[in-house]
A and B are shown apart, each in its own frame.
Chain A
């Protein structure tokens, strides 16, 4: 019953979406918001219902639904039956639709007495996007397809996917991608405005972009975190196409966010923003295309079906050609006549934007280049990690240098003495702390030096900004905590987060130590001042698996046990999948990471041990960036509410 109803209601939501589109065509805009209310709420409620009926089918293990049959099993824990709803192609597309409807509702909430035509146009574009995705689901990816007679049980599952981080990262990512759809629609509606319109389109767009970017950051990081503790190489980024598919909109989103701030302040960079808003969403949809169409191999290929690829590509083509043609003709209305000073905050933002776009273009080109080569030659090449590392990192270095002084620079013309003072103090502090770092903590390394310097550069500049602000602020005591934290705005918080993120990236990439050895029970080995003793091997029984677990006692220099690491090799009873569970001991300085390989009692086991310095700062850094984003979102929403 539920699935049939869910399917029927999905068609109903298509009707609401079409209704929303048609309403915007109305010439008389007097009561337009009331009509839109019906469409928007109808769409939201119907997609909610549809989504939850799929979820219900998963929860009760209704195997007459093909989607449930293919992806679930009665032994799957409840939490993962729920998250399994979006852990497959059809369900994830339904989640896209749900999030699109939610964002659609918030666009509707923008209505006030003065902007009805503008919001109506935005809703029209949004409706078009929703119709596109709905038709995609209904024609190629129906989650409610039935299989009769219903089988007794499902095809099981991939145990690697039963994980909390992996469960929540798709919804976060989709809020990101879909948030950019709002920016896209707003961009198009803006371009339809005449010159000199009073509508603060950039304020609306900024709210959506802040939300989208914040959630995209969190979603991407969670994916990396999962890869780190699940996949067993001590790495967290592999330049896999699906990772790149999330990174590219994120880079453009970062650029877009900062340019929107500039538009708000200085009214400049408007055409740039309109273009970035289009690109961010196009990249989000193209990313979806790349990982579902089967034209690229990826660790994460969802569904290798060219038919779906054709649809998404056509849809992207429509959106892109329309928006970019509009841009080609209309954007000249938004050119700013003023002077753009490069040595200023807006200048640093724009320069950094260029760097972000170049990195994004490189990632895009690297990911798709093999396709170009194949068209024009018999040979086939592959572009992997080494390429991306060689091209992205050299460009990020100047980008981060510029990012560091951004907060120090003021808007418009500088008070040169003031600015120079701050930069010099930051430089001094950065160099000082870098030297201390290398004296106390780690052996010298060229890349390590660059990484630590950049990380400290960002953080020192931020703190120098705060101190100078406090000093200017009626001579408050610099060391008073209230005075200090009062100056922590979302930019300061997020930038500190980025500094810590770079610290973590540097530590874990440059100074990772590896020890691969074969150990029998009672054997010992060392890594980075730790003595690791293989004390025992035992059989362990879990809820739906049995495992071989190794117990490794870790002794520090003083011969005290600091932890027991227990990596497992699991066999899942139903599907016969085998997985290797990593065991990690974390502290602020390093992760100790151990993987149990193959072996037996006579020959011993292959044991892989990694010492990953400073890894936790990656996750702490992202958490802080996320908090900064949430704070910014709260402030933006407050402003909108006051004005609507």
Chain B
């Protein structure tokens, strides 16, 4: 019986090796979290708009068409870098992009958008970060795709770059189904 035991270390070793190899191959970023909200209903919120004090109700925005929700702020440097891609997205007639201004100074944001251009149809103000908290935001920028049934289908953590853009666009197309 003892002699048969001697092969076990090798077997266990091979299993562990397989797991590690898998992780190296898929090249995953250990600091990126999967979203807890994928395939769940988008969390609702009520807040004011950036430009005037009009109330914004999430219930009114979601539920009719695919919406892209982009959390951004003026003090976030990568947000600036991805701005052109957000604009590109917004130019597509079928895509509506709303922005959530996270923990920011509204005046600064207005000036920022004036300088860079405003791709958002609506901008919600999240002064204390509670909307971000409900959406599981832990870093900026983060961009969500919400389909016409108010279900979150995808979350992009980090800025949308040239490399990521086509994949993201594809995810938007998929959400139409």
Contacts and interface: CB of A to CB of B under 8 A. Distances in A.
Report if A and B touch in the complex (beta carbons < 8 A). Answer: yes
Interface of A: 271, 275, 278-279, 282, 289, 293-297, 306, 309-310, 313, 316-317, 320-321, 324-325, 327-329, 331-332, 335, 368, 371-372, 374-375, 378-380
Of all A-B residue pairs in the complex, the 10 with the closest CB atoms, nearest first, are: A324-B10, A328-B7, A297-B30, A295-B23, A328-B6, A320-B13, A324-B9, A332-B3, A309-B24, A328-B10
A380 B33 contact: yes
Contact of A313 (B13, B24, B29): B24
Nearest to A274: B6
B6 A332 contact: yes
B128 interface: no
B133 interface: no
Contacts of A293: 24
Given A293-B24, A378-B34, A321 B6 contact: no
17 contacts: A275-B9, A278-B9, A279-B9, A293-B24, A294-B29, A306-B27, A313-B17, A316-B17, A321-B10, A327-B9, A328-B7, A328-B9, A328-B10, A332-B6, A335-B2, A368-B20, A374-B23
A289 B20 contact: yes
A329 B13 CA distance: 16
Given A310-B24, A371-B23, A375-B22, A295 B6 contact: no
A317 B19 CA distance: 12
Interface of B is mostly: helix
Contacts of B3: 332
Given A306-B27, A332-B6, A372 B34 contact: no
B11 to A, nearest CB: 9
A353 to B, nearest CB: 15
Interface of B: 2-3, 6-7, 9-10, 13-14, 16-17, 19-24, 27-31, 33-34, 38
Contacts of B31: 297
B19 A313 contact: no
Given A327-B6, A378-B34, A295 B28 contact: yes
Contact of B30 (A275, A295, A375, A379): A295
Contacts of A275: 9
B3 to A, nearest CB: 5
B136 to A, nearest CB: 12
Nearest to A289: B20
Nearest to A313: B20
Contacts of A316: 17
Nearest to A310: B24
Q: Which residue, of B24, B31, B34, has the highest number of chain A Cβ atoms within 10 A?
A: B24
A368 B10 contact: no
B13 A371 contact: no
Contact of A380 (B9, B23, B34): B34
B22 to A, nearest CB: 6
A309 B28 CA distance: 12
Contact of B17 (A320, A332, A372): A320
A293 B19 CA distance: 14
Nearest to A298: B30
Contact of A325 (B10, B16, B20, B30): B10
Contacts of B13: 282, 320-321, 324
A357 to B, nearest CB: 11
A335 B2 CA distance: 9
Contacts of B14: 321
Contacts of A328: 6-7, 9-10
Given A316-B17, A327-B9, 16 more contacts: A295-B20, A295-B23, A295-B24, A313-B24, A320-B17, A328-B6, A328-B7, A328-B9, A328-B10, A368-B20, A371-B19, A372-B19, A378-B34, A378-B38, A380-B33, A380-B34
Contacts of B10: 321, 324-325, 327-328
Contact of B24 (A282, A306, A380): A306
B30 A331 contact: no
B19 A368 contact: yes
Contacts of B6: 271, 327-329, 331-332
A256 to B, nearest CB: 14
A309 B20 CA distance: 9
Nearest to B29: A294
A379 B34 contact: yes
Q: Which residue, of A320, A328, A379, A380, has the highest number of chain B Cβ atoms within 10 A?
A: A328
A378 B13 CA distance: 25
A79 to B, nearest CB: 33
